[in-house]
Structure formats: C-alpha cells, structure tokens
Structure 1
C-alpha cells in the first residue's frame, strides 16, 4: 500500500513544535572533509575506518591541513602549541556531531579523558561512529537510516512502532515524514518499540511505551509518532540500545544510563518496570570512557575506550556464561571481562546477541561466548562458553564487522565476503539451499554465504533479528539485512509482516535468497 503522510507531517506535531529551530547541517564542502571522504572510500569503501587505521588517515589529513590552513581561515583560533597532526585531528573533531553544543571546557575534559591528545579523541570518535546502526532488523519490523539522516520503517505496526501515525502494517519502506529537518544517526529496535538518536543528542521513541506485558498496557501506551524522551533531555545521547526488559543509552561524555529493568538484576540500581528515569551506571565505570553499548535479551555489553587499548564490561543475567567471566553468575554492577588480556585480544566492537555474544578484535579475529545452541558460537559444537573464545574457523579471515541475533552470528571480512553460523531454521543464515537441506546441515562452524557472494557486491554490515522468537512468534520468523558498499540493501528470512521490505508470494512466509529492498542508503 502507498504510505500516507502521517499526522505529524502537517506541522502540528508536538515533536515538530519542539524542534522549531533546527541546527543547520554541518558543511561538508571543505577540502579537509573532501580528502577524508576520498581516503575512506579508497581504503574502506563507505565503512568508517577502524581505530587501528586512524593514524594512517591522519597522515593524509595532516598533508591536506597544510594547504587548508594557509589558503583560508580556520574555523577555530590558532594554537601554536599543537603539532600539525594534532591540528588536523582537532579540525576533524570539530566537524563531528559529538562536538555540537559542547563547551570548550567540555572539549578539554574529553581530551584529558582520552589521554591528552586530539588524535586520541578522534580515534575515540571513530570507534564510536563505526558502531552506529544504520539498518536494524527488529522482531517483526525494520528501520533503515540513510546517510542524509532520513528514516524509513516497514513491517509490523500493531503498537505504532513504525512511527507513521497509525497502526497499519507496511510491506514496503515508508519515510517517517514527521522527522524531516531532523538528522537521525542511530536506531535501536526492540519488541514493538523503536528509538532513534539525532545528531543533536535527542532520543525519539515510538511504539510500545513500556516494558510491562501487553495485558497490563492500554491504548495510551501506543505511541504512533516519534516523541522526544523527556527524561533524557539533559543528556546528549549518541547511542541507544533496547534489550528484552530494559533500555540503555550512551552519552557524549561516555557514560551509560539504563531504565525499566524490572527483574531481580537491575543493572546496578533499583527500579520498576515502569520507571522512566534514566539511571547512571557508575561503580567500576565511574572513570571509564564507554565508546559503544550493545544489549542482549537480559544483559548489556559496554566497549570502553582507553589510550592503551580497548576493554569490555558486562552486566545483567549470566546464565549460559554470556557475561564472559568464566561463570554463570548474574552481575548487578558492570564488571570487566578480563579474559581478553589473556588472549592478547584488543576489542574494537561488541555484539550482544539474544543469548550469546561476540567481539571483533583490531587484528581481525573474532571471539564468541555464551549459549552455544545450534552452533551459534562457531566452534563446531553446541557447548556454552563462559569465557571469550577465538573462532578458529575464521583463522584465514580478517574480519571487519560482526553481528549477532538469536542463535545466529555473522562476520564480514575485509574483502566484503560474509560468513555465518548458528540456527538456520528461519532461512536467515543465507547460505542453505532449501528448508529440508537446512534441517540436515551442520552450521556450527563459519560458512561462506554464497547467496550474497554471487551478487558481486561488497558487504559492509549485516543486521539479523536480535530478540527472542518465542516471545515474538506472532511476528513471524527472524530476518536478516545485508548492507552493501554501494548502498544497496538486501533482505532474507521471515517476512509475513512486511519486515523484509518486499512483498512475499501467496502462502510464502520466508525468503530463501537475498532480495533487493527498494531503498538506497547513500
């Protein structure tokens, strides 16, 4: 069906009134920004470079900075104490959304927390930005963000989780028109819920309004158009994550906030399921700069930035060993996963699946841990792992991206190939020939996804559904998106609610091979 303009598009929405004055978009026409874009496209495609590559990129920036600063005035006062690489790094930091509405004192504080160097600040920003989610496959509905910051939604809409002003399902991508003029940089999707983060640090939420069961909710809990989360207005948010029973938010200052836990382990603080006040996670994270958060069904992973290397903290439910501490105990406060040091593994990205977890190292290795059902850890068995364990089946692969769903894991290599392992029941691993073959096949070790390989496209990001199927079975089987370097988007897996962005044939409930979604990211 054709997507109607929702009510908020008329300008009468409180969201639009709240944002009557919209920040002007950052200029992208400077020579320095142009050379950065050319360098990224040449070396990394459209992917943001990893932290290990930032020094090489800064060399290019330093050369261009010489011409830039002599040919035209800089956009900040000269500081003769800074070296040329430091000047280039500072100039690039100035252009990032994280530096919007930030005082000079706050800039200096961030610089000190990063190790006293603008190059280290720039590395921190790059690590953070490379973990933003442009495409999210939720349980029954999907969200896609373009490079311009526009947002498209499609799939199940029973609680208004598409943000289109109604509760009708959509089978093709629909632009959320009420967000026009607002640049969205990151999305989080949960069961009947959606949250979006803007480049000015605001969080917009729609869909189910709380984590209480449907039997305790009423029509007032349906939010059908994006609304600002009022309790976060004092926090400049750069990332949001939604678990099975909680939400988590990462601030510009590297602090983590959570609310609505509603279970025995309450992520370091006591709160009710209906609690809408963000609670700061402190304790061991008091002086730690967090660069990324990732939420599983009942636990949270946090990637912490340090000048000497990265580290990972975990908190929540420890069943199956998914907290990575060598035991199955729950943790009510964040705890450092120490085993990465034993492995000489420097993590640059983490992925908290529903029941298992994965981490990407700066050397291209991949570690997994937690429940091992259906071989989702990639170690050739279904045993759980309570400590991060390197996936030996990827020893000849240099990974640049890792993602996890419910008992599924995807890895993208530096040449754009995709490997997957775990549950193939919903056809969302992408490499099985048919359902009968999937029943007999062994997917407990990494396998090349041939159905993506034959597209002759370089993959940059894979997004599988990351939620409990038995809690969302009415939404159909899980599905997966593959984002290509060209900006093309492909989908496969379950799609009865329209979550694939393509209409299925009569009687069809799953898409066996990847099919192009009619939307370009770039």
Structure 2
C-alpha cells in the first residue's frame, strides 16, 4: 500500500507523514490509504467513517471514493488547488462528483457545481460586486457556476501567469523585444543596445527565446517589458531590473551606464512585491500588501506623488496607500493606472490624448478616480495602457475604451477620440477575460479562447491575413488566423504581437525586423508563427 496525500500527490510511506485538511478528520494518525492493486481508498482511524471498526483489519478494509464523507470531498474541491478544467474532469469521470449528495439539489446540479459556487464567493472580483452585478454576471455565464469561475480565474491570470498544459507561462512584448516566463525561468528575444534583453553587454540581438541568467537562483513569477528596460518579480517577492537606467527607471542610483544583466532593486529588498509595470522612463511596483511604489522620470506627474520631482529609487504613493488595497497596475508611456480592490480605477500622469479618462487633457500629479465608472456603478477588473489610448475590462466581462481614436484603436467604428470611458457595444455579447492595448491597436481575449482585434494593422501586427500592412480595422473582428488555437494570454508591442495557447505554445505575428518574434527567417510575419525556446 501507498499513502494518498490530499495535496494531490502520491507519496511513499513515511513515519513523519502529517497533513491536515480538516482538524477532525486528517492527522498523522488519520489518513487515506490507497491500494496499489485495486486503487480503492480506505480511511484509518476515522470516526466519521462507518468502516472504522475495532480491529486493524476492519480499519483497513477497502472502500470506494463514493463512501468518503461529503464534507471531505468538498474540502478537496474547494482547496484552491484545482483549476476549472480539473473540476470538470472530476465531474465527468466520477459519479461521486456528479451527484449532489442531498446538498441543495434544486440549486446545484452536482458537488462540483456547489464547489464552483463556493469558490466564486471567495474570489475578490466577484465579492466586490453588488447583488445586481453578481446576478448579471451569472446570467452572462448562462447561470453556470463553473463558467463563472473560469471567467474569474482567467481575468486574474490575464495580468499574471496563465496555467497551460506545458506549465505556468507569461508573455510580455516590449518595443523591439519579447519576454517570456516558462516554468519560473525568464527568456528573451529581439534586439536592444541598452541591456533590456538581460544577457550582457556583448548581446544586442537574440533570434530565439534564450534563458536569462540571474545573479542568484530565482523563480521568476512576473515580468514587464517597456521600450528600453525590463523588470522581473520573483516568487519570493524580490525585484530585478535591467536596461537603460539613465532616468532611474530601474530603481538604481547609478545612471552612468546601462544595466546589462538583471540586478536586484536594493530599495525593495525588504518589501515583498507581486507585480511590476514598466513605462517609458518610469516603473511601478505593486506590493503584496496592495501598496504602489514608483521610480524614474516624473515630468508629467506619472509617479503619483503630487509633484514633478524624479525619484531615483522606488517610493510609496501615500495617497493610494491611504485609500485601500490596489490589485493591478499598468503603465503607459508617461501616465499610470491603478485598480483598487473595490473596482475603482485611478489614473495619473500625462493627460495627453484624454488617456486619464477625466474628460480633459490636463496632467494629474497624483492618483484621481475616474468618476464615469463610479457614477455608473461599474467595477473595473483589469486595465491596459496603450501609447495613446486605454482599454478596460469591467468585472462583468464588458470592455470600455477611451483616448485617441486614430485608426479605429477604440473600436467604435470611427476614428473619433473619446474623452471618457465608452463601452464597446459590439462586444456586449462576448465575455471578455483580457484586454491589451499598444500603439493604435487593441486586442480583446474572450472566455472561449478567441481573440478580437481592431485598430491599425501596423506591419501585420493586428493579425488579419486579408488586410494590408497599413489597413485600419474600425470595429472588433475575430482573428481567424488564431481560430484553431485556444488563446490564454496575449501581448502586443510596438509593431509585433505574441500569444500563448492553453497548450503552452507561443505564436507571434507582425514586424520581425529585429528578431522580436524569435526567429530570423523573415522580416515580417503576417501569419502567426510558432516561437521556440532554447532550453540550455
């Protein structure tokens, strides 16, 4: 016999075995045993199980999964370790999970359905909604709790790592380069003269995804790419940066030369960070406590401190810290965005092109809430800052755009600027899970893995095979070139775009003049082309 650990791993017998998922059920003396011959389960010393008799033989008598207590099954399902696809697999393969076991039989179709309901209730995005918004979201998910949970998980992963069958991954596009995280390792490809690739001063171009070496062993958890610098967050909350630091955007006081290899930001050494966002010449850092730090150039107030003084090292934005917890940050060229845990979107920095969403083009030296969302009772879940426009995803899966409408980047069927957020009515029937903006183009990823694009084709970076290199797409259209793939994440740079599929494959299209698509076969890829990693 071998022991079945409820951390979902089969582990060899060990005298020191100890795991507790329910204080009255599993201890070092109460554990499940799985027979290698019949693959059934039994429970030793469990007062809740009728099979526990007086003799050891009775205690080890084999039983099936169906005989496990309902509360234990629910503990497993709601542990937070299972993705929606795992829950569905259990529901499809075992009648134990398909049944309701007498729990709310009229409201929930199965234990998995009930578990999905419980997990949705614990999700911060769903919990921040009022009752009417929660009902609307459930209705948009066809009254299916599993689909609603999938939506919530996909939205959270859109600004973080995405789970694929090849491991956890994240993709980010810079000006002429691309950064990738795969299995906690960071890779880069493309070109740069200022060290943004992270491979040393002798490397100015890499034609394949090549692993970046850090000064100490780290597990990379999040990355952000900008024009000339990059930032990395490790699993332990440390921050490393590389690239052009002449504006202090890398968080180091030495501005004499570029940082060619990732260097730890000493000012944040004792602060645990979970997210970074790199702007043109400044950087934002989001801590695990929900506080935002910024450093770099501050000519437009993009650092959020109420002045225009540059900051050579990361400094906390006191106004945001006093308001509450921030859950997502994003940086435009000279402006910044922050989403709070109650769904309020704050903007600050340059007001050019109406990117701040306040109906005017004046600069904001400190965070200011976008009132149009608050007046309409709309909770923002995620936001993406483009060069001249902004796209936001609200907590019920609707998309909103504002800023410069040139080339149709706002998706409203024209090229008219929007001074405040305006909902994309053409996508109302779709449940969006990620939004992505760059130079005059926008992408929207929906919950079935399809991608919609609109704006300027820009060297083929919009992904439509039947359009010219400078064509304008004024309204959202589905990318037929990606139809055969289920897309999990998308990122777009200046003139190139990259996606990650649910199978862990990476595809890129658009400009490849500087190998930013991970190969040197052609200078422009109109059709999505797979990108590969050099594992050594």
TM-score, normalised with respect to structure 1: 0.71
| C-alpha spacing 1:351/1:267, structure 2 compared with 1 (3 Å) | same
Q: Deviations over 1:20-74 (max 9, x none)?
A: xxxxxxxxx963568xxxxxxxxxxxxxxxxxxxxxxxxxxxxx99679723469
Contact 1:92 1:122 in 2 (8 A): no
| C-alpha spacing 1:173/1:227, structure 2 compared with 1 (3 Å) | same
Corresponding position of 1:446: 476
Q: Secondary structure at the match of 1:221?
A: coil
1:177 maps onto 2:213 in alignment:
yes
Q: 1:486 aligns with which of 493, 499, 503?
A: 503
Question: How many angstroms apart in 2 are the aligned matches of 1:253 and 1:86?
Answer: 30
Contact 2:158 2:433 in 1 (8 A): no
| Structure whose residues are more often strand by fraction | 2
Query: 1:320: how far off?
Result: 1.7
What is the aligned-residue RMSD (CA, Å)?
3.4
What pairs with 1:73-152 in structure 2 (closer than 5 Å)? 119=122, 130-132=158-160, 134-146=170-182, 148-152=183-187
Q: 2:491 aligns with which of 463, 483, 499?
A: 463
Unaligned segments of structure 2, at least 5 residues:
10-18, 30-70, 82-120, 128-151, 162-169
Question: How many angstroms apart in 1 are the aligned matches of 2:319 and 2:22?
Answer: 47
Question: How many angstroms apart in 2 are the aligned matches of 1:299 and 1:195?
Answer: 18
Corresponding position of 1:70: 25
Query: 1:206: how far off?
Result: 1.1
| Structure whose residues are more often helix by fraction | 1
Question: How many angstroms apart in 2 are the aligned matches of 1:219 and 1:324?
Answer: 34
Q: Secondary structure at the match of 2:461?
A: coil
Query: 1:245: how far off?
Result: 2.6
Q: 2:198 aligns with which of 159, 163, 183?
A: 163
| C-alpha spacing 1:84/1:405, structure 2 compared with 1 (3 Å) | farther
Contact 2:248 2:297 in 1 (8 A): no
Corresponding position of 2:287: 251
Query: 1:321: how far off?
Result: 1.4
Q: Secondary structure at the match of 2:373?
A: helix
| C-alpha spacing 1:120/1:398, structure 2 compared with 1 (3 Å) | closer
Query: 1:121: how far off?
Result: 6.6
Q: Deviations over 1:160-184 (max 9, x none)?
A: 2111123331101111133673111
Q: Deviations over 1:454-477 (max 9, x none)?
A: xx11011110016xxxxxxxxxxx
Which has the larger Rg? 2
Contact 2:353 2:403 in 1 (8 A): yes
TM-score, normalised with respect to structure 2: 0.69
Q: Deviations over 1:336-370 (max 9, x none)?
A: 11212344432211111121111112222100111
Corresponding position of 2:272: 236
* Higher RCO (Cα < 8 Å, 6 or more apart): 1
Corresponding position of 1:510: 524
| C-alpha spacing 1:391/1:158, structure 2 compared with 1 (3 Å) | same
Query: 1:484: how far off?
Result: 0.6
Corresponding position of 1:341: 374
* Larger displacement relative to structure 2 (174-183 or 236-245): 174-183
Q: Deviations over 1:76-97 (max 9, x none)?
A: xxxxxxx99999899759xxxx
Corresponding position of 2:351: 318
Contact 1:488 1:519 in 2 (8 A): no
